[in-house]
Amino acid sequence: MKINRFFFNNKDYVFESDFDFSNEHFDENHIRSVSNVHAKITGQIFEDLLMLKVQVKAHVVGVCAYTLEDVPLDLNIKENIEISDEVEDDDVIFYEKNPIFDIDPYILSLIVSNVPTKLVKEGAKLPESGEGYRVISEDEYRKEQQNKKDSRWDILDTIDLDK
Protein backbone atom coordinates (compact mmCIF):
# COMPACT_ATOMS: atom_id res chain seq x y z
CA MET A 1 0.00 0.00 0.00
CA LYS A 2 1.37 3.40 -0.94
CA ILE A 3 1.65 6.22 1.52
CA ASN A 4 2.37 9.90 0.84
CA ARG A 5 4.96 11.52 3.07
CA PHE A 6 3.49 15.01 2.57
CA PHE A 7 0.14 14.08 4.15
CA PHE A 8 1.98 14.05 7.49
CA ASN A 9 2.62 17.81 7.23
CA ASN A 10 -0.81 17.94 8.85
CA LYS A 11 -0.06 16.72 12.38
CA ASP A 12 -3.67 15.51 12.77
CA TYR A 13 -3.44 13.20 9.75
CA VAL A 14 -3.99 9.51 10.55
CA PHE A 15 -3.40 6.73 8.04
CA GLU A 16 -5.39 3.66 8.93
CA SER A 17 -5.76 0.53 6.82
CA ASP A 18 -6.00 -3.25 6.67
CA PHE A 19 -3.16 -5.16 5.01
CA ASP A 20 -3.21 -8.49 3.17
CA PHE A 21 -0.09 -10.62 3.53
CA SER A 22 -1.77 -13.91 2.54
CA ASN A 23 0.48 -14.27 -0.53
CA GLU A 24 3.73 -13.74 1.39
CA HIS A 25 6.11 -16.64 1.86
CA PHE A 26 7.71 -17.01 5.27
CA ASP A 27 10.34 -19.24 6.81
CA GLU A 28 8.31 -22.41 7.35
CA ASN A 29 10.02 -23.05 10.69
CA HIS A 30 9.10 -19.62 12.06
CA ILE A 31 5.81 -18.30 10.64
CA ARG A 32 3.11 -20.15 8.72
CA SER A 33 0.74 -17.24 8.04
CA VAL A 34 -0.11 -13.64 8.88
CA SER A 35 -3.71 -12.44 8.75
CA ASN A 36 -6.09 -9.77 10.07
CA VAL A 37 -3.45 -7.06 9.90
CA HIS A 38 -4.62 -3.58 10.80
CA ALA A 39 -2.30 -0.59 11.09
CA LYS A 40 -2.77 2.93 12.36
CA ILE A 41 -0.03 5.40 11.48
CA THR A 42 0.48 8.95 12.67
CA GLY A 43 3.53 11.07 12.10
CA GLN A 44 5.31 14.36 11.73
CA ILE A 45 7.86 15.78 9.35
CA PHE A 46 11.01 17.45 10.65
CA GLU A 47 12.98 18.88 7.70
CA ASP A 48 13.96 15.76 5.70
CA LEU A 49 12.91 13.27 8.41
CA LEU A 50 9.49 11.62 8.57
CA MET A 51 8.84 10.24 12.05
CA LEU A 52 6.03 7.70 12.09
CA LYS A 53 4.26 6.19 15.09
CA VAL A 54 2.94 2.83 13.99
CA GLN A 55 0.40 0.65 15.78
CA VAL A 56 -0.17 -2.79 14.27
CA LYS A 57 -2.58 -5.52 15.27
CA ALA A 58 -2.11 -8.87 13.55
CA HIS A 59 -2.93 -12.54 13.90
CA VAL A 60 0.05 -14.81 13.26
CA VAL A 61 0.28 -18.58 13.06
CA GLY A 62 3.74 -19.62 14.21
CA VAL A 63 5.42 -22.99 14.59
CA CYS A 64 5.98 -24.82 17.87
CA ALA A 65 9.70 -25.44 18.36
CA TYR A 66 9.02 -28.80 20.04
CA THR A 67 6.18 -30.35 18.05
CA LEU A 68 6.10 -28.34 14.78
CA GLU A 69 2.39 -27.74 15.35
CA ASP A 70 0.61 -24.43 14.67
CA VAL A 71 0.74 -21.84 17.43
CA PRO A 72 -1.75 -18.95 17.14
CA LEU A 73 -0.40 -15.60 18.27
CA ASP A 74 -2.09 -12.20 18.42
CA LEU A 75 0.29 -9.27 18.16
CA ASN A 76 -0.19 -5.68 19.32
CA ILE A 77 2.82 -3.71 18.16
CA LYS A 78 3.70 -0.09 18.85
CA GLU A 79 6.87 1.15 17.14
CA ASN A 80 8.46 4.28 15.77
CA ILE A 81 9.84 4.36 12.24
CA GLU A 82 12.07 7.12 10.93
CA ILE A 83 12.27 7.68 7.18
CA SER A 84 14.46 10.18 5.39
CA ASP A 85 14.55 11.31 1.77
CA GLU A 86 18.31 11.74 2.07
CA VAL A 87 20.83 8.95 2.58
CA GLU A 88 21.77 8.92 6.26
CA ASP A 89 24.70 7.32 8.04
CA ASP A 90 22.35 5.94 10.65
CA ASP A 91 21.19 2.32 10.97
CA VAL A 92 17.76 3.20 12.38
CA ILE A 93 16.75 5.71 9.70
CA PHE A 94 15.32 4.24 6.52
CA TYR A 95 15.83 5.86 3.13
CA GLU A 96 12.91 6.52 0.77
CA LYS A 97 13.78 8.72 -2.18
CA ASN A 98 10.25 9.42 -3.39
CA PRO A 99 7.52 11.16 -1.38
CA ILE A 100 5.11 8.32 -2.20
CA PHE A 101 6.40 4.94 -1.06
CA ASP A 102 5.21 1.46 -0.17
CA ILE A 103 4.58 0.99 3.56
CA ASP A 104 3.94 -2.79 3.34
CA PRO A 105 7.58 -3.89 3.84
CA TYR A 106 7.82 -1.81 7.02
CA ILE A 107 4.60 -3.27 8.44
CA LEU A 108 5.61 -6.81 7.53
CA SER A 109 9.08 -6.43 9.03
CA LEU A 110 7.55 -5.17 12.28
CA ILE A 111 5.32 -8.24 12.43
CA VAL A 112 8.09 -10.72 11.64
CA SER A 113 10.48 -9.13 14.12
CA ASN A 114 7.89 -9.35 16.91
CA VAL A 115 7.28 -13.08 16.52
CA PRO A 116 9.54 -14.97 18.94
CA THR A 117 12.12 -17.16 17.24
CA LYS A 118 11.26 -19.99 19.63
CA LEU A 119 7.55 -20.49 20.13
CA VAL A 120 6.37 -23.29 22.37
CA LYS A 121 2.76 -24.41 22.27
CA GLU A 122 1.09 -24.54 25.67
CA GLY A 123 1.59 -27.97 27.20
CA ALA A 124 4.14 -29.08 24.61
CA LYS A 125 7.13 -31.05 25.85
CA LEU A 126 10.36 -32.05 24.18
CA PRO A 127 10.23 -35.58 22.80
CA GLU A 128 12.20 -38.10 24.84
CA SER A 129 13.05 -40.55 22.07
CA GLY A 130 11.68 -42.07 18.91
CA GLU A 131 12.50 -44.31 16.01
CA GLY A 132 16.08 -43.67 14.93
CA TYR A 133 16.90 -41.03 17.54
CA ARG A 134 17.18 -40.37 21.25
CA VAL A 135 17.31 -37.20 23.31
CA ILE A 136 20.15 -36.75 25.79
CA SER A 137 21.61 -33.85 27.73
CA GLU A 138 24.80 -32.08 26.67
CA ASP A 139 26.65 -33.58 29.64
CA GLU A 140 25.63 -37.11 28.62
CA TYR A 141 26.73 -36.39 25.06
CA ARG A 142 30.16 -35.14 26.20
CA LYS A 143 30.70 -38.24 28.38
CA GLU A 144 29.80 -40.51 25.45
CA GLN A 145 32.19 -38.66 23.16
CA GLN A 146 35.06 -38.96 25.66
CA ASN A 147 34.52 -42.71 26.06
CA LYS A 148 33.96 -43.33 22.38
CA LYS A 149 36.75 -45.00 20.47
CA ASP A 150 37.33 -43.83 16.90
CA SER A 151 36.90 -46.98 14.77
CA ARG A 152 38.60 -45.39 11.76
CA TRP A 153 41.98 -46.02 13.39
CA ASP A 154 41.33 -49.65 14.40
CA ILE A 155 42.91 -50.94 11.18
CA LEU A 156 46.25 -49.52 12.30
CA ASP A 157 46.27 -51.91 15.27
CA THR A 158 46.54 -54.84 12.86
CA ILE A 159 49.79 -53.63 11.30
CA ASP A 160 52.88 -55.47 12.51
CA LEU A 161 55.65 -52.91 12.79
CA ASP A 162 58.34 -55.40 13.91
CA LYS A 163 58.85 -56.92 10.43
Q: What average pLDDT does the structure give for the chain? A: 88
What are the C-alpha distances in Å from 152 to residues 30, 66, 143, 144? Answer: 39, 35, 20, 17
3-state secondary structure of 113: helix
pLDDT score of 21 more than 70: yes
130-158 residue pLDDT tens: 788 888 889 989 988 888 777 777 777 78
pLDDT at 163: 67
**How many percent of the chain have pLDDT more than 70?**
99
